[in-house]
Every structure is written in structure tokens, then in C-alpha cells.
Structure 1
Amino acid sequence: MKQHLNEWKTPSILLGSLGIASLGDFIYLVAINIIVYQMTGSAAAVAGLWVIGPLTNIVTKFWTGSFIDYRSKKHIVLVTLIARALFIALIPLASNLLAVYAILVVLSVAKSFFGPALMTYITMLVSPHKRKRFNSLRSFSSSSAFIIGPAIGGTLILTTNISVTLWLTAVFYLLASLLLALLPETEKIEPTEIPALTFAQVARDFTVVYAFMAERKYVSAIYLGFLAVMLFSFAMDAQEVVFTQQVIGLTEVEYSLLISITGIGSVSGALLLSIFSNKVSIRYMIVIGLLMMTFGYVIYAFSWSFASVTVGFIILGFFNVFLNAGIATFYQNNVPVSVMGRVTSIFQLIQSVFQIFFILGIGLLADLVSLKLTIGALAVTMLVTAFLYAIAVLNPRYSGWYIEEVEIKEELTRG
């Protein structure tokens, strides 16, 4: 028993660090929207916040993987957390919107390094037989942050002001970095082994990613298929506020309550999954999560009242954690850590490109036809696509890719 607790000590510290950072993410999200709106009074300026991230990804993802894979993943994650703390602390000092946007670009660049480096570091730090449970617990902490973060942010803004709220958010990132600093280094990289970041090196790394995709077609297809299906989710989420208020007729108070209820659904799903994660295979986590989440979106798309849309949101919130934990574990088990930074960056680059065009296209279509018809068509198309994706995931020919039972049995034997 003591040995088992010691084995979970390191992952627990990592979970604590990521949980604190997630709280910072959601407090920051509330504060940055309000400060930009206060500075400009423009809804378009606030909407611009949602474009900065994908645009930055398109510019940076070409080469971030080449940088990450040859350097310490822990060091990159640590530096990006500290950088986010410092630049968030600078936002209240910005004198105009252009300065705020410049800081947000730097923050987006930091996040573009943070994601792939963190994915690789988790894979190296957390042993295979612990990954499902770790990803389930991580979903639980991020879902909890989804509820608690905005509440803390709103309370801080009401009791202090936006500036103090942002400075306290920076403290959350610093605390997360302090916890991360306690974790072990997972690799030893000599400075002489690090190649110069040149155009030729980036081009060679693209061929490495292409070779990986050619060799592991099924792994690539499953992950890219997941990103493709999630495009429908992103597009519907982008129209969520307008759809719930203009089509369903919810008030702002009802919409706020709806988001809180969705968060409670996510926390409930994540808590259940964290308890029973080793009882559910990766394939069924992905399939059940995706199909039920999509079913929730269909209910949402054809809702007529607060009660009906609440049912849809609870379902999609509850099962979204199954999908995310399952796909993360599948990815960690099947992408070699030696190329994970480059593969993750290129996949996220592809996602960002399609995300921008898809969301803009859906917004235009909603103006030309009707928002209700557009969201309904999106939900039905997503459901059909999800069924096709589920068939591919459950294909018995590829069951060998879902490595999990052996590690779990070995762990039980050791215990």
C-alpha cells in the first residue's frame, strides 16, 4: 500500500500543478474579456480575443515541435508557466488595446509551446498503467476549475478590481510553476545534441512527421478523425451564446446557470471515470464519450426550453470527459515521445487552420440561412460522422493499438 502511494506521489504533484494552472486559465478568461470590453466597449474587440490563439498557432506550430523535441520538456513547461504569469501581470499596465493584444500574442505563443511539451512530459513521467487514471483525474481537476475558476474570478472582480484579479491570476501560474519545479527531470540532453533551429531542420522534421503518419496510419487517422469531429463542436460552441438567447430564448441569467450546470455534469462524469477508469477500455471511453456527447449536442440543437437544453448540456458535459481522457491515453500510448512534440504541433496546426475556416464559414452560413437550421444541420452531421468514427475505433483489426490490459495486469501482480 505504501509503495502504491509512493508511486502516485509524482503524478499527484503534477496533477496539483495542472489543477492550479487550470484555475488560473478560467479566472484569466473572465478577467480578460471584461478588461477588453471596459477599454473599448466593443463586442468586436472581445471577439478578436478568440481569433488570436488560432492565428498564433498557424504561425508558430510549424516550428514549435522542432524546438520542443530536442530540449527538456519539463524546462519548457516551467518557462512557459512563468512567462504566462509575468505577461498576465503586465496586462493591467497596458495603456491601450494594441498593447493588450501584443501581450495576448505573447501569451498565445507561450501556450503553443506549453501544450505539446506538456503532453510529452506527461507521457514520459506517468507510466502506461497509470495513464488512464491520471487523465481521468486531470479531467476531474479541469472540470472543477471550469466551475470554480469563473466564480473566483467574478468574486475577485466584485470585491477588488480587474487589475488585482489579473495579478492574483499570475500568482496561480507561479504556484503551478513552483509545484512543477519539484518534479523530476525525465531526460538528459547534452547541449551538443541540440540542433540549430533552422529552416532546413524544420523541413527535415516535417518529413519525420510524414514518416510517422505513413507508418502508423491508423493512429494518425484516429487522432485526426477526432480533431475533425470536434470541429463541429467548436463551430457550435462559437454560436452558443447567440443560439441559446435568440433561438431558444434564454435570458443571460439562465445562460449563466446553464454553464454552471454543464460544469457540474463534467465534474460528475470525471469523478465517476476517475473511480472506474481501469474498468473501462480506452476504445469504449472514446466511443461512448463521443457518441453520447454528440447526442447531447443534438438535444441542444433541437431544444425549445431551458429544461431541454439543460438535459443536452448535462449529457455532453458528462461524457466529454470520457472522450478527452480516452483520446489522450490512446495518443500517449501510441505516439513515440521522441517525435511527440513535432507530431502534436503539426496536428494542432492542421486543427487551427480548419478551425478558423470552419467557424467563419458556419458564421456566414448562419447569416445567409438561419442559425437554427445551421446548428441543427451541424448536430446531425456530427452525429453521422461520430457513428462512422466509432466504427473505425471499434474495428477489431486494430485492437492491438489499444495497449492497456497488459500493463494493468502487471500492476495488479506487483501490488
Structure 2
Amino acid sequence: MRLSTWLDTWKYPSILLISVGVTNIGAWIYLIALNLMLLDMTSSPLAISALYVIKPLATLCTNLWSGSLIDRMNKRRLMVALDLIRAALIVFMPLCTSMWQVFVLVFLVSAAGSIFGPASMAYVTKLIPGDQRPRYNSIQSFIHSGAFLTGPAAAGLLFLVGPPSAAIYVTAVAMLLSGLVLMLLPNVEGTPQGGEQAAKLSWSVVKTDLRLVIAFGRKQVYVMTIWFLYSLILVVIASAMDSLEVAFSKQVLGLTDSEYGLLVSTAGAGIMIGAFINTLVVKRAAPTFMVGIGTLGVCLGYLIYAFSHSFMAAAVGFVVLAFWLAFVNSGFATFYQANVPVEVMGRVGSLLGLIEAALAMLATLLFGAAAQWLSIPLVVMTGAVGMAVFGIMLAVCCLYGGRGQTSGSPAHLKDV
């Protein structure tokens, strides 16, 4: 491929990837600095735990109606506005004098993020041709993995020269830069289609859109089955398992704080290696193959971790699951983009995100209660076995079911 051709092809995807990288590094700095700032303010571990409930709660409050907004707005402008809003909200966090003020701002930032995700997915699908999406998704997965390592490292450096509040301001700058970068991208919206594009957001519009999404789900049973199993394994059960990670590592495996930090670092190394290899093989593997095989690898890693009795065994499990996670995520993103009509992608993604958030909150509470009343090892091992059972089901669906639906054009609205 000639350089000029490559530049023409990847000019805008590269700009979008720069925005993704800046945002992800900023998000890691934000997460770590916010935890430290709130701990300094309250000295309460419970307050820190509450932070992790706010994000799914914000999703529950926004995603019922936000999809209707996303599909009727200019997505580039919406994404820019959401980045600028998040930057403005984050600026005020270090000025807060009470925990509840911080919680309100975190809720608003999380709500904007919940809207940004489906809007970004729809914009990417419109901007990037189908034959380029696998490579784009693999590079994006690599960037996410890189942020997993560079974000905390950058936060650590910032803490050496200033308080957590200073790192919060750096996050605000990162969000601002991301919004400015997004302004360089083109408008990909087509000509407004009369009624739907012009309709104002109302409860009747939301109800109509809900019926449309339900009709799509009934029509595309295979797509919804893949989504449900993927979400159940990689979002719902994984979130519940991750909530017990610290307790399992320290109370069951007997790791020190430094050993636990090293354990998490092994996951970062695994996901970086997996994401890099994924960028090399993505053109040779079907998205469903990557999801199916990758899911089995992730489940194997969780099983090794759950049944481990030493740091070394747990580290092997972390490396294995993190390595395959890059394949699953990029493969699923490509599958989703190929099988969900871009005209309803905002509505479908938002409603599915709402269901994910509700199930993840429920599973996390159930796992936490079970660990309290039974035992942490039993709950973690049971969760890993359950994940493996559903993982085998997903692999079978991906590798042997619905072959004709994984690479063609998505269903059109008239077919729904």
C-alpha cells in the first residue's frame, strides 16, 4: 500500500485512536486520583466502595432514554459536547468540601460516559468501512491495554510531584484535549430522514424506540444470544469476580500489598502481549472465531486463578485471562458492528448497556453477600466454574452456530 493511500485510508481512524488513547490514560489517572482524594477526605473504605456503585447506577438512570437521543443527534457533536462536559465537571472535583458533592459530580461524569459509549460505537461504525474495522478494533484494544499500564504509571509520577487533586486537573485537561481532537473528525451523518430525525425526545418516542429494539432482538436471535452470553461472562460474572479480587488475593492467598500490586501488573503484561498479537492475526481470523476461542482462554485463566494456592499460580491465571481478553473484546466489537444496524445502534447499545449494568450490580451484591456468609474461595471457585460453563456455550454458538450471520451486512430497519 502506497503511503499516500495509507494516509487517506487511516487519517481519520488515527485521529479517533489518538482521542481514545488520551481519554483512556486520563480515565486511569482519574480513577486512581479520585480514590486517593476521597480516602483523604473521608478515611472511609465504604466511601471508596460506593464509587464503584455510582457508575452502573448512572447507566441505569440514562440508558433507557439516551439511545433515542444518540440516534437522532449528530454523533460527532454529541461526543465532543460530552467530552467537554466531563472536563468541566472534573475541574470542580478538587474544590468539593464534602463526600456527597464528589458523589454528585462522579454520577454526572459517569452519566456522560454512559451516553458517550454507544454514541462512539455508532460513530465508529459509520466512519470506518467494514473491511477496516477488525484492524481498527484490534489497534483500539492495544491502546486500551497500553493505557492499563501507562495510566497508573503516569498517575504515580504525578503523585510524586503533587497531591491527587493535581492529577484530577490533568484528567480534565485530557478530556478537553480529547474533545478538541474529536472536532477534527468529519461529520458522518446522512441527510435527516424526516420524522425520526426531527422528532423531539419524549416518553412516547422512548416507548416507540423500546418496541423497535425488542423487535430487533426477536428478529436477530443469534446476535442477541452472542451478546447475552458475552455480557454474562465478560461483564456480569467478571465484575462480580473482580469485586472479590483484593479479598481473595490477600485473605486466601495471603499476598502482601506489594505482591498484589505485582499480580495486577502481570495482568497488564498479559493483555499487552495479547493485544499486540491480536493486531497481527486479526485479518486472518473471523470475529466469531476470536470471540469463541478467546472466551475459552479467558475462562481458563479465571479457573487457574480461582483454584490457585500461591502467587505464581494466580499470576499464571492472570496472564492467561488477560492475554485472551484482547481477542474477545476486539472480536466482539467487530461482530457487533457487522450485525447491528447503525441506524439503531445507539438505541440497541444503550438498552443492552442498561441490562448489563443491572445484572452486574445484582451479581456483585450476590457474590459479596455469599462471600460474607459462606466463604470467599467457594464463591470465587463457583463463579469461575459457572463462567466456564457459559463460556463453552458461547464458544459453541460462535464456532458452530449462525455462520451466515457473522460477516454479512446487518439487518435493515425494514427487516426488523
TM-score under structure 2 length normalisation: 0.95
Distance in 1 (alpha carbons) for counterparts of 2:311 and 2:347: 44
Q: Which residue of 1 aligns with 2:412?
A: none
Secondary structure in 1 matching 2:305? helix
Query: Which amino acid counterpart does residue 156 of structure 2 have in structure 1?
Result: G
Paired residues of 1:85 and 1:171 also in contact (CA < 8 A) = yes
Aligned-pair distance for 1:189?
A: 5.6
Paired residues of 1:128 and 1:404 also in contact (CA < 8 A) = no
Query: Which amino acid counterpart does residue 163 of structure 2 have in structure 1?
Result: N
Q: Which residue of 2 aligns with 1:307?
A: 312
Q: Which residue of 2 aligns with 1:330?
A: 335
Secondary structure in 1 matching 2:72? coil
Distance in 1 (alpha carbons) for counterparts of 2:394 and 2:111: 32
Secondary structure in 1 matching 2:271? helix
Q: Which residue of 2 aligns with 1:296?
A: 301
Distance in 2 (alpha carbons) for counterparts of 1:119 and 1:19: 15
2:217 is aligned with 1:198: no
Q: Which of these residues, 218, 221, 229, is aligned with residue 214 of structure 1?
A: 218
Paired residues of 2:68 and 2:206 also in contact (CA < 8 A) = yes
Distance in 2 (alpha carbons) for counterparts of 1:92 and 1:229: 36
Q: Which of these residues, 46, 49, 74, is aligned with residue 72 of structure 1?
A: 74
Distance in 2 (alpha carbons) for counterparts of 1:91 and 1:136: 34
Distance in 2 (alpha carbons) for counterparts of 1:311 and 1:174: 39
Paired residues of 2:87 and 2:172 also in contact (CA < 8 A) = yes
Aligned-pair distance for 1:194?
A: 2.4
Paired residues of 1:129 and 1:404 also in contact (CA < 8 A) = no
Paired residues of 2:122 and 2:346 also in contact (CA < 8 A) = yes
Paired residues of 2:296 and 2:388 also in contact (CA < 8 A) = yes
Q: Which residue of 2 aligns with 1:411?
A: none
Q: Which residue of 1 aligns with 2:274?
A: 269
Q: Which of these residues, 348, 358, 361, is aligned with residue 353 of structure 2?
A: 348
Query: Which amino acid counterpart does residue 336 of structure 1 have in structure 2?
Result: P
Paired residues of 1:123 and 1:337 also in contact (CA < 8 A) = yes
Distance in 2 (alpha carbons) for counterparts of 1:237 and 1:330: 26
Q: Which of these residues, 221, 227, 231, is aligned with residue 227 of structure 1?
A: 231
Distance in 2 (alpha carbons) for counterparts of 1:304 and 1:343: 42
2:370 is aligned with 1:365: yes
Q: Which of these residues, 79, 98, 101, is aligned with residue 99 of structure 1?
A: 101
Distance in 2 (alpha carbons) for counterparts of 1:345 and 1:333: 17
Q: Which residue of 2 aligns with 1:413?
A: none
Q: CA RMSD in A?
A: 1.4
Distance in 2 (alpha carbons) for counterparts of 1:278 and 1:404: 16
Distance in 2 (alpha carbons) for counterparts of 1:5 and 1:313: 37
Q: Which residue of 1 aligns with 2:10?
A: 8
* Paired residues for 1:141-152 under 5 Å: 141-152=143-154
Paired residues of 1:213 and 1:220 also in contact (CA < 8 A) = yes
Q: Which of these residues, 394, 401, 405, is aligned with residue 405 of structure 2?
A: 401
Greater mean deviation of Cα atoms: 182-191 or 69-78: 182-191
Greater mean deviation of Cα atoms: 259-268 or 325-334: 259-268
Aligned-pair distance for 1:171?
A: 0.9
Structure 2, unaligned runs of 5 or more: 410-416
Q: Which aligned runs of 4 or more in structure 1 are off by greater than 2 angstroms?
A: 188-194
Paired residues of 1:296 and 1:314 also in contact (CA < 8 A) = yes
Q: Which residue of 1 aligns with 2:344?
A: 339
* Paired residues for 1:30-179 under 5 Å: 30-179=32-181
Aligned-pair distance for 1:395?
A: 2.0
Secondary structure in 2 matching 1:300? helix
Distance in 2 (alpha carbons) for counterparts of 1:233 and 1:173: 28
Aligned-pair distance for 1:404?
A: 7.1
Query: Which amino acid counterpart does residue 14 of structure 1 have in structure 2?
Result: L
TM-score under structure 1 length normalisation: 0.95
Q: Which residue of 2 aligns with 1:408?
A: none
